[in-house]
């Protein structure tokens, strides 16, 4: 498969680009922030995503979805990133849909996701840094399970209809096996969410599970064998976050390059200064390399290729590095105006930092590659 | 039922298995170890010669060129299959040649039918070794300032001037050369000519480099007679040919030493020198981190190369994209060699010992410093990206 978008994907991109720019431009995010919106995103917009068919991109046609792949999901995510649109698309339509795939829970949740009524959150992290370990306990209780422990950095965790929780049913925190994935419904007794607004004005929750009782059918897949659905969830989430980062970095770069062509100092446009041209050209190179890495990871995931795993790590790390550069150069090259809240470029810097941290930062993924290579 | 492509793969595999000598399935260790072809082939081992001749006879040194010009006439999918099958048995490139990677594509685009029939098959069979006469003492990155003159003498030109940084000028049989045919305009007055380095009036002098090796030469032309039939494309239109060829050169340089199949010499070298700690990690955590972050960029660049080739084949690549590839690839390659030197420690400083294969490591490290200078400096590539891709204004 060649490493560029095919005709259908190009059409999807044009559709998504117009739709997101029209319905959820940066001003949409700014308004939610200024209104101190408690959800952090618009349910109405989520409905329109469903009407466009976007929420069903990764759901099979037999279940009423579009039956497309990660390349296609990434196309929508890139536009979300470019417009800094607050949306549960990544957690719900990408990561949760992948985790549920092939399980009995899919029938329960897919219709709501397809209709744009269901929002999913992912309860994975247990410390300030993403790790490959799971300590939150799930003990057998009658026919079901009892969950106790804490999770953090759970985007939409305070309002989600469905929370996917990675829990330990056997072994110790760093063991690869003994993990079980659970689908926890909104309002479960013993579950409390402490919502926190983050630097980018999105909202994430710290969740506390205090003997949360679940029936046996809350299990996604098999007990103790949660690595499979969790692995799919993480691969989809990491790749999706990479695509969104690409949009954030690309959006910031476009703004910056436009600014270089408009802004005059010393009687000429500042974009004619070689010092700035070289930095812009270097930034462009980093972003192009990151773009190739994202598409490669998406294609390998879609082909269920065994080489997908390292490619996903390359994509997540590379987009974090390139986009971080893009937003830093963006603020710097905008000068004083780049530091003002009134101007949008600073929002890109905040969003990039959040996405860079999500599902493992560049260091986490570089470390993962190094271990896999035996050093 | 096997598809045509599957049949092709099976036949190719069998042919390679039978025809690729065992010695040609080992990695190339140095520039001297590679086959460059040309009139003087005395330096080649029998296996190298056999491998080049067998591949050349099938047109597989240039698999995607038309058969009429000595190529293999393979489709893009077949070419890819051939490369994959070669990679599987770690078969070496049978022939490294500026003729193949640079001049050939330019001749295919701009050459007359006679020129194509005359030169291309010889390039494919490795019979002519070429060098490139672009840079001059006062025309490096600013090639349009070149001064080597070609005076019109009716059926031929009389060429006078000096070139510099002519790679392997002392070993090459022919040169593809930029000469000035009109002094009144800069880029518009340049022509692209080919001539035999054995012509009367051509002399070369090697330049010793910091690596202790000397692939580069100064080249002098004193009343060299060049028939007009050896000019490629129209008179004063040499800039078009040069630009097209530079794109291919940049592509070639950007891919040097990266994305090699099998093991990772950087990681293997670091483990050998520094060792692993009890958790199985490189015992120098800062070097480990540097290598790991380098790996991210290096692998991502490998994917970028793949994308670039796919886009080129489909005619979708931006014409200035080779500048980005050249810039990024060469900076990465320098980075890799810095890390290799750091990983090697004092062992990597030995310059002549047998243990160090005559200082192959440090010499290669120093050689990479030229990557971001030759073929247009990194700064020139950044200028091109800024102006032609980002459309930033000129002063």
Contact residues, chain A, for B281 at CB < 8 Å: 370-371, 375
**Confidence band, pLDDT 50/70/90 cuts, at residue B142:** confident
Higher-pLDDT residue of A288, B139: A288
Identify the CA nearest to B253 among candidates B132, B127, B72, B383.
Answer: B132
Count of Cβ atoms closer than 10 Å to residue B395 Cβ = 8
Residue from the list B276, B289, B310 with its beta carbon closest to the beta carbon of A4: B310
Q: What span, in angstroms and rounded, lies between the C-alpha atoms of A154 and A203?
A: 8
- The answer to whether the CB of A154 falls within 8 A of the CB of A204 is yes
3-state secondary structure B87-109: HHCCCCCCCCCHHHHHHHHHHHH
Q: What span, in angstroms and rounded, lies between the C-alpha atoms of B232 and B103?
A: 10
Do B307 and A271 make contact, defined as CB atoms within 8 angstroms?
Answer: no
Task: Answer yes or no: B78 catalytic.
Answer: no
> Chain A: nearest CA to B267, how far in angstroms?
7
pLDDT per position as a tens digit, B32-42: 677 888 887 76
Do A272 and B395 make contact, defined as CB atoms within 8 angstroms?
Answer: yes
pLDDT per position as a tens digit, A148-192: 999 999 999 999 999 999 999 999 988 989 999 999 999 999 999
Spell out a b/e string for A198-216, using b for 16 or more CB atoms within 10 Å of the CB, else e.
bebbbbbbbbbbeebebee
- CB hemisphere CA count around B363 (13 angstroms): 20
pLDDT per position as a tens digit, B290-334: 999 999 999 999 999 999 988 988 889 999 999 999 999 999 999
Do you know the residue count of chain A?
Answer: 375
Do A289 and B271 make contact, defined as CB atoms within 8 angstroms?
Answer: no
Do B310 and A3 make contact, defined as CB atoms within 8 angstroms?
Answer: yes
Q: Is A107 exposed, middle or buried (0-12, 13-18, 19+ CB in 10 A)?
A: exposed
Q: What span, in angstroms and rounded, lies between the C-alpha atoms of B321 and B327?
A: 10
Q: Which two structure tokens, joined as six digits, stand for B274?
A: 């520094």
Residues 6+ apart with CB under 8 A from B54: B19, B94
CA angle A323, A329, A333 (to 5 degrees): 150
> Chain B: nearest CA to A245, how far in angstroms?
15
Q: What span, in angstroms and rounded, lies between the C-alpha atoms of A118 and B33?
A: 63
SS3 content of chain A, % helix, strand, coil (to 5): 55, 15, 30
> Chain B: nearest CA to A261, how far in angstroms?
6
| pLDDT at position A267 over 90 | yes
Q: What span, in angstroms and rounded, lies between the C-alpha atoms of B339 and B329?
A: 15
Do B324 and A271 make contact, defined as CB atoms within 8 angstroms?
Answer: no
pLDDT per position as a tens digit, A215-258: 999 999 999 999 999 999 999 999 999 999 999 999 999 999 99
Partner A contacted by B68 (CB < 8 A): no
Q: What span, in angstroms and rounded, lies between the C-alpha atoms of B32 and B43?
A: 9
Contact residues, chain A, for B303 at CB < 8 Å: 3, 289, 292-293, 295-296, 311, 314
| pLDDT at position A129 over 80 | yes
Share of chain B above pLDDT 90, in %: 67
Q: Read off the pTM.
A: 0.87
Do B296 and A317 make contact, defined as CB atoms within 8 angstroms?
Answer: yes
Identify the CA nearest to A169 among candidates A115, A214, A131.
Answer: A214
**Confidence band, pLDDT 50/70/90 cuts, at residue B262:** very low
- CB hemisphere CA count around A77 (13 angstroms): 31
Torsions phi, psi for B327 (to 5 deg): -60, -55
Partner A contacted by B388 (CB < 8 A): no
- The answer to whether the CB of B202 falls within 8 A of the CB of B159 is no
Torsions phi, psi for B289 (to 5 deg): -65, -40
pLDDT at residue B43, as a whole number: 62
> Chain B: nearest CA to A305, how far in angstroms?
15
Helix B321-344 × helix B265-274 angle, to 10°: 20
Beta strands B130-133; B174-180: pairing state: parallel
Chain B stretch 278-317, residues whose beta carbon is closer than 8 A to a beta carbon of chain A: 280-282, 288-289, 291-293, 295-297, 299-301, 303-304, 306-308, 310-311, 313-314, 316
From residue A346, alpha-carbon distances to A243, A336, A338, B82 in Å are: 20, 11, 6, 50
pLDDT at residue A89, as a whole number: 98
pLDDT per position as a tens digit, A60-112: 999 999 999 999 999 999 999 999 999 999 999 999 999 999 999 999 999 99
SS3 B113: helix
Q: What span, in angstroms and rounded, lies between the C-alpha atoms of A115 and B284?
A: 53
Compute chain B's Rg from CA coordinates: 22
- The answer to whether the CB of A334 falls within 8 A of the CB of A265 is no
Catalytic residue among B249, B251, B331, B374: B249
């Amino acid at each position: 498969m060649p490493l560029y978008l095919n005709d259908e994907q190009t059409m999807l991109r044009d559709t998504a680009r117009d739709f997101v720019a029209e319905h959820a431009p940066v001003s949409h995010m700014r308004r939610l922030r200024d209104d101190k919106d408690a959800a952090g995103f618009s349910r109405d917009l989520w409905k329109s995503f469903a009407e466009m068919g976007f929420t069903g991109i990764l759901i099979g046609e037999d279940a009423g979805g579009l039956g497309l792949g990660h390349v296609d999901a990434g196309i929508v995510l890139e536009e979300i990133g470019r417009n800094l649109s607050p949306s549960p698309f990544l957690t719900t339509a990408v990561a949760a849909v992948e985790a549920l795939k092939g399980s009995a829970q899919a029938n329960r949740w897919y219709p709501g996701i397809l209709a744009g009524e269901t929002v999913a959150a992912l309860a994975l992290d247990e410390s300030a840094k993403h790790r490959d370990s799971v300590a939150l306990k799930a003990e057998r209780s009658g026919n079901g399970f009892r969950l106790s422990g804490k999770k953090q950095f759970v985007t939409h965790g305070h309002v989600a209809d469905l929370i996917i929780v990675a829990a330990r049913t056997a072994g110790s925190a760093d063991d690869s096996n003994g993990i079980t994935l659970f689908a926890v419904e909104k309002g479960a007794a013993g579950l409390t969410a402490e919502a926190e607004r983050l630097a980018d004005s999105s909202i994430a929750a710290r969740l506390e599970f205090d003997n949360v009782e679940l029936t046996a059918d809350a299990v996604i897949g098999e007990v103790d064998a949660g690595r499979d659905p969790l692995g799919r969830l993480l691969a989809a989430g990491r790749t999706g976050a990479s695509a969104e980062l690409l949009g954030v970095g690309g959006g910031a770069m476009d703004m910056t390059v436009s600014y270089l062509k408009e802004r005059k100092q010393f009687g000429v446009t500042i974009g004619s200064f070689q010092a700035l041209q070289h930095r812009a050209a270097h930034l462009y190179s980093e972003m192009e390399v990151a773009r190739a890495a994202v598409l490669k990871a998406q294609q390998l995931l879609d082909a269920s290729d065994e080489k997908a795993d390292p490619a996903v790590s390359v994509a997540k790390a590379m987009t974090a590095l390139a986009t971080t550069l893009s937003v830093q150069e963006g603020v710097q090259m905008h000068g004083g105006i780049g530091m003002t809240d009134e101007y949008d470029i600073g929002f890109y810097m905040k969003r990039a930092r959040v996405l860079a941290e999500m599902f493992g930062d560049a260091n986490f993924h570089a470390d993962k590659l190094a271990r896999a290579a035996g050093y | 039922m096997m598809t045509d492509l599957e049949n092709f793969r099976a036949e190719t595999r069998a042919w390679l298995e039978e025809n690729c000598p065992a010695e040609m399935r080992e990695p190339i260790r140095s520039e001297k170890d590679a086959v460059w072809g040309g009139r003087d082939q005395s330096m080649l081992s029998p296996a190298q010669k056999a491998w080049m001749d067998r591949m050349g006879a099938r047109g597989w040194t240039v698999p995607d060129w038309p058969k009429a010009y000595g190529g293999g006439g393979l489709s893009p999918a077949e070419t890819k299959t051939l490369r994959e099958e070669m990679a599987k048995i770690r078969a070496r490139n049978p022939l490294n040649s500026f003729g193949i990677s640079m001049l050939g594509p330019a001749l295919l685009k701009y050459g007359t039918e006679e020129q194509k029939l005359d030169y291309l098959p010889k390039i494919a069979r490795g019979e002519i070794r070429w060098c490139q006469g672009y840079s001059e003492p006062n025309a490096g990155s600013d090639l349009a300032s070149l001064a080597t003159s070609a005076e019109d003498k009716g059926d031929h030109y009389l060429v006078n001037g000096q070139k510099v940084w002519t790679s392997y000028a002392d070993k090459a049989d022919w040169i593809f050369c930029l000469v000035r045919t009109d002094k009144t305009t800069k880029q518009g007055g340049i022509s692209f000519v080919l001539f035999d380095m054995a012509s009367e009036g051509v002399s070369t002098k090697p330049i010793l480099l910091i690596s202790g090796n000397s692939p580069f030469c100064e080249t002098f032309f004193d009343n060299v007679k060049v028939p007009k039939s050896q000019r490629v494309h129209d008179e004063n239109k040499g800039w078009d040919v040069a630009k097209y060829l530079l794109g291919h050169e940049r592509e070639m340089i950007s891919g040097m030493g990266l994305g090699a199949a099998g093991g990772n010499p950087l990681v293997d070298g670091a483990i050998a020198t520094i060792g692993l700690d009890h958790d199985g990690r490189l015992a120098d955590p800062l070097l480990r981190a540097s290598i790991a972050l380098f790996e991210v960029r290096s692998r991502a660049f490998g994917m970028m190369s793949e994308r670039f080739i796919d886009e080129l084949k489909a005619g979708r690549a931006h014409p200035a994209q080779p500048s980005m590839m050249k810039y990024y690839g060469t900076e990465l390659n320098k980075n890799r060699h810095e890390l290799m030197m750091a990983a090697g420690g004092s062992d990597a400083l030995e310059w002549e010992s047998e243990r160090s294969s005559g200082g192959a490591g440090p010499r290669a490290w120093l050689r990479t410093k030229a990557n971001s200078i030759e073929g247009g400096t990194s700064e020139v590539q950044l200028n091109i990206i800024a102006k032609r891709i980002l459309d930033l204004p000129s002063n």
